Amino acid sequence: MEMMNTDDDSLCEDSGNETSGDDVDFNVEVETSVPKESQSYDDEYQYEVLSTSDIVQYMSDIIDEVNSVLQLPPTTARILLNYFHWDKEKLMERFFDGDQDELFKEANVINPFKKIPVTGKPKLSLKIRGTEECDICFMVFAPSHMTGLECGHRFCYQCWNEYLTTKIVEEGVGQTIACAAHNCPILVDDETVMRLVKDTRVKIKYQHLITNSFIECNRLLRWCPSPDCNYAVKVAYVDFKPVVCCCGHIFCFACGENWHDPVKCSLLKKWIKKCDDDSETSNWISANTKECPKCGATIEKDGGCNHMVCKNQNCKADFCWVCLGSWEPHGSSWYNCNKYDEDEAKAARDAQERSRAALQRYLFYCNRYMNHMQSLKFEHKLYSSVKDKMEEMQQHNMSWIEVQFLKKAVDILCKCRQTLMYTYVFAYYLKKNNQSVIFEDNQKDLERTTELLSEYLERDITQENLVDIKQKVQDKYRYCDGRRKALLDHVHEGYEQDWWVCKEA
């Protein structure tokens, strides 16, 4: 039974490995084409985790591939590829269809097929024949101490080193360092940089800048967003799918946020923005205050009397808090506000009710979202208490493998919390229909079972007999996981069948 459930904790042990175990599992299922419940939605998505050296290798593979057709010097190919954001098809198209001279000029490289006569000829020192003067340090050197790019601007080795180091270390420029001469746009290729820079740390920084710009402009690559992680993930096509980095971090490839099924990236982005900005403050103001019907000043009612007198000294309007109409017809003998149906006042009330309702609705979802997020943070404490429990059990003649179910239970708990958290974002933007009612039922079920599992792991477990624990924990987490998958499957089906109608909020 245990084996059936070992699924998605497939952290790959080494860089560059495909997460293969699950794919095999999936292929079997394609043949039988029976969706099994334990099959998680995401296993079919293929991706690779690349280390820094893998990335460098991958870059040079692309360059080689392009060069097998274009026959350019690799350094020129790299600059051109970078110019086209590493889209090799686009480069090929431009290369064969357009004006090649124009292409090289745009990308700021010298056309390697055309050795144009050097324009700026070496500045020969007047004093000593057979020497050149460096335009940066103004020292006179033998020509063997001077070097430059195809543009013909030559400087001494020491100045090149200083120049490139300044650009790389201080300005953080990688792929687009230009020749040191004034107004010369020709780019320095990577080979030249590596040859002329002396300090290894600078070289490492340079390589980092190069790989960084490669990843940034390549749609099929993304850095792992977790802090201090140097791995990148490579996919075959961009999709809203979870990827697991070698560091253990799980994130959505499409947007880079933590994996947020069932809610889609665009809505999550909207939600995060909503939570971050202050739009709810203004919602509060409009829900709890009214505006003076005459001057528009914002008013909060602080007493029982509905006869309002605007405190704005230039306004001093008398009006009724209930209907926002003028106070005059209300008189003093009849308090009942009979102005209820007056169009203008009604519109004002409606608008206010709407924003009050919107605020309450937002707070409802936000509260639950935040609550699960908070709990998720606390579950990390649970890991350590569970670890103690596992050690205790091992001392009671249980093997290491036998006690792993406890850790697995916490894993599942965290997954459920994460899913629950994002279901509230999903629900916030969801318009009510029959399917949304089913969704809410699923959500309720999952929430209830998750809380049960959480409570059991946190409290009840200490009172139980060690032998009973295993059965109970396994029952509980399997049920939780089942509910989670049922909920997600239902949402995914809804995406395919177009059940979900998005609410503008």
Partner 1 sequence: MANIAAQRIRREFKEVIKSEEVAKCAIKVELLNDSYTELKGEITGPPDTAYEGGVFVLEIKVPETYPFNPPKVRFITKIWHPNISSVTGAICLDILKDQWAAAMTLRTVLLSLQALLSAAEPDDPQDAVVAKQFKENIEMFQMTARHWTNVYAGGPHVNKECDDKIKRLVDMGVEEHQARVALSSYNWDIERATEQIFS
Residues forming the site for partner 1 (CB under 8 A): 135-139, 153, 155, 158-159, 162-163, 166, 170, 180-184
Look up 305 and say whether it is catalytic.
yes
Of 12, 156, 295, 305, which is the active-site residue?
Answer: 305
Q: Which is nearer to partner 1, 166 or 435 (CB)?
A: 166
Q: Which is nearer to partner 1, 164 or 268 (CB)?
A: 164
Q: Which is nearer to partner 1, 177 or 409 (CB)?
A: 177
Which residue matches tokens 């924990």?
Answer: 473
Angle value at C-alpha 255, between 250 and 261, nearest 5 degrees: 55
Angle value at C-alpha 273, between 272 and 275, nearest 5 degrees: 65
Q: Which is nearer to partner 1, 169 or 272 (CB)?
A: 169
Rounded least distance, CB 450 to partner 1, Å: 54
Q: Which two tokens stand for residue 106?
A: 């745009």
Find out whether 228 and 249 touch, Cβ atoms under 8 Å.
Answer: no
Rounded least distance, CB 495 to partner 1, Å: 47
Rounded least distance, CB 47 to partner 1, Å: 38
Q: Which two tokens stand for residue 143?
A: 């020509």
Burial 380-404 (b: 16+ CB within 10 A, else e): eebeeebeebbeebeeeeeeeeebe
Q: Which is nearer to partner 1, 166 or 474 (CB)?
A: 166
CA dist., res. 338 & res. 502, Å (int): 39
Q: Which is nearer to partner 1, 70 or 139 (CB)?
A: 139
Find out whether 187 and 200 touch, Cβ atoms under 8 Å.
Answer: no
Find out whether 358 and 505 touch, Cβ atoms under 8 Å.
Answer: yes
Q: What is the DSSP letter of 322?
A: T
Q: Which is nearer to partner 1, 184 or 366 (CB)?
A: 184
Q: Pick from 433, 401, 452, 446: which is nearest to 501 by CA? A: 433
Find out whether 176 and 187 touch, Cβ atoms under 8 Å.
Answer: yes
Q: In Å, what is the CA distance from 476 to each residue of 210, 283, 338, 380, 398?
A: 49, 41, 60, 19, 21
Q: Which two tokens stand for residue 107?
A: 């990308």
CA dist., res. 419 & res. 242, Å (int): 13
Q: Pick from 224, 252, 225: which is nearest to 238 by CA? A: 252
Amino acid making up residue 90: K
Hey, is 282 helix, strand or coil? helix
Reply yes or no: is the peptide bond before residue 143 cis, omega within 30 of 0.
Answer: no
Q: Would you name the residues annotated as active-site residues? A: 305
